[in-house]
Amino acid sequence: MFYFLLGFVLLFLNNDLSKAVITLMNVIIILVPLIGTIFGVMYYYNSKEFTELLLGQPIKRSSIFLGQYSGVALSLSMSLILGLGIPFVLYGLFQSDMIWDFILLIVTGTFLTWIFTALAFNIALYNENKIKGFSYAILLWLFMAVIYDGLFLMSLILLDDYPLDTLSIGATMFNPIDLSRILILLKLDISALLGYTGAVFQKFFGTNFGLLISLSALSVWVVLPLLNIFRKSRKKDF
Amino acid sequence: MIRIEQLHKRFGKNQVLKGVDLDINSNGIFAILGPNGSGKTTLIKSILGMVIPDSGELLIDDKSIKGKWKYRDEIDYLPQIANFPANLTVKELVAMIKDLRSRPGDDERLISLFKLEPFLDKKLSNLSGGTKQKVNLVLTLMFDSPIIILDEPTSGLDPIAMIHLKDLIAEEKAKGKIILITSHIMSFVEEIADEIVFLLEGKVYFKGDTEALKLQTQESNFERAIAVLLSRDNV
């Protein structure tokens, strides 16, 4: 519902598909992780009683938690895809050449939803205390969305004298938000804004190989927290 | 059959179970007693696999339950605190649990026995404590499983429901089941239990029937006998 309204409002304000996609990118990059994190943590704590009820029943532990996770992640991604998809389709997305950019945007948005919901579940599993869990989750989001960039930038300034291509690409891989942002920016061909770094990134991410690597990095970001949910849920006491 | 060997469990600094050995071979009603914090619920949750023990063996029908989950189909469990998802109605919850177990349950008889019909379409968050406990009992007892575990089944029940509960427990016992009960109401325990398992400081302190307990403590009154068990350790 939220995404749906957002899509319409953006289209009305911009009156142009490609501009709307760019605005949308900014929103997706920041808001999607936040929504994923908050909903993930909230859902876990809210369904705690339910989980305890299920644990007494003949059900595998991992299927309880993975089921809950996929329930949240799937419904969030569906709302993202439908909410953004419907207004854009109504606006004539299929007739425009923006369609691939839009699809990439949706795909990365979905990835971000899955990643941050999984991270949120991890945080909730480790913290019995709701308030603590919530704060950690928000801190995580803040770190990934804002602080990481700052640190990254500082390191670039401090290490000014060295060639930084590999470092910056590597550092980008370690933050799913950055990774998605750069992926979309390059796809939208506004990499010239990024200057020299942009050229380096373009060389790396612009190719199919780079796209493949980035998408697999995003997948790793989904799989690792999921495995940890699996591992932790086996050992946890209720 | 339930066999427990040298079960240890620690929560942080608090060592709750310090080597519990327990053998339940025959059918009947076993009351697990002990002061607050003696590890009754932890023991029960270990049997259910909700608490993972630090060390020790837990066997049900001679099979270790470690990492297993199918065996829980043999167990009906009544949790101590009736925590239900608040946004479901009683009817939906019953249907869901039946669906999970994928076998028919005896829910209608129990619902009419506890007079729960007027609450069927109410949300669980709007029920009183006693009514919740009745729903809890229906959910637990509607399946016909060989092992029944009841953690504080009497809490919040009115006298009529209490009588029904006793009848139900006797009925299940007659079917040749193993029934584990924890309770703090001694008259209830004395009335129904075949055997007492007394937990103290994380160990099985006493196991035997009520007569043996009275003999050992030289008290004719059950409640006093338990009190003696408790105080002897403090001397």
Comparison of pLDDT for B205 and A224, the residue scoring more: A224
If we measure between CA atoms, which residue out of A180, A92, A175 comes closest to residue A141? A175
Q: Please give the structure tokens belonging to residue B232.
A: 């002897």
d(CA A69, CA A64): 9
d(CA B224, CA A41): 49
d(CA B85, CA A46): 8
If we measure between CA atoms, which residue out of B90, B141, B140 comes closest to residue B116? B90
Give every strand in the sheet of B147-151, ordered side by side. B75-78, B147-151, B178-182, B28-33, B195-200, B203-208
What digits encode the pLDDT tens for the residues B23-57?
887 788 888 888 887 888 888 888 888 888 888 88
Mean pLDDT for A88-92 is 73
Helix/strand/coil for A108 = helix
- Which residues of chain B lie closer than 8 angstroms to A236, CB-CB? 52
Closest-approach residue (CA) in chain A for B41 = A238
Put simply, the chain A residues between 20 and 59 with a CB less than 8 A from any chain B CB are 47-50, 52-59
* Beta bridge partner(s), residue B204: B199
Look over chain A and give the mean of its residue pLDDT values, rounded to a whole number: 78
Decide if A237 and B52 are in contact by the 8 Å CB cutoff. yes
Q: Count how many domains chain A has.
A: 1
**Contact residues for B8 (Cβ-Cβ < 8 A; gap 6+):** B15, B17, B18, B19, B53, B54, B55, B56
Mean pLDDT for B116-144 is 84
Q: How far is B139 from chain A (nearest CA, A)?
A: 10
The residue with tokens 């109401």 is B185
If we measure between CA atoms, which residue out of B54, B38, B37, B43 comes closest to residue B21? B43
Helix/strand/coil for B180 = strand
If we measure between CA atoms, which residue out of A80, A87, A88, A83 comes closest to residue A106? A80
Q: Is residue A100 scored above 70 in pLDDT?
A: yes
What digits encode the pLDDT tens for the residues A145-170?
878 877 877 777 777 666 666 777 77
What digits encode the pLDDT tens for the residues A21-57?
777 777 778 888 888 888 888 888 888 878 888 887 7
Domain containing B201 — which CATH number? 3.40.50.300
- Domain hosting A144: range is 2-235
How do B147-151 and B203-208 pair as beta strands? unpaired
Q: Count how many domains chain B has.
A: 1
The reported pLDDT for the residue numbered B96 is 82
Scored b (16 or more CB within 10 A) or e, A211-229 reads bebbbebbeebbeebbebb
- Which residues of chain B lie closer than 8 angstroms to A53, CB-CB? 79, 83-85, 97
In terms of C-beta density within 10 A (0-12 exposed, 13-18 middle, 19 or more buried), how is residue A150 classed? Answer: exposed
The reported pLDDT for the residue numbered B179 is 87
Mutation site, A49, A64, A231, interface B, largest B CB count within 10 A? A49
Instruction: Check: CB of residue B21 under 8 Å from CB of residue B205.
Output: no
How do B55-60 and B2-11 pair as beta strands? antiparallel
Q: Please give the structure tokens belonging to residue B138.
A: 């229906």
- Domain hosting B160: range is 2-232
Q: Is residue B235 scored above 50 in pLDDT?
A: no
The reported pLDDT for the residue numbered B12 is 80
d(CA B47, CA B72): 9
Mean pLDDT for A113-129 is 88
The reported pLDDT for the residue numbered B8 is 85
Decide if B70 and A58 are in contact by the 8 Å CB cutoff. yes
Mutation site, A44, A48, A50, interface B, largest B CB count within 10 A? A50
Q: What is the DSSP string of B130-153?
A: HHHHHHHHHHHHTS--SEEEEEST
Using the Cβ of B200 and the Cβ atoms of chain A, whether some distance falls under 8 Å is answered with no
Mean pLDDT for B87-116 is 82
B72 vs A50, A58, A235: nearest CB = A58
Closest-approach residue (CA) in chain B for A46 = B85
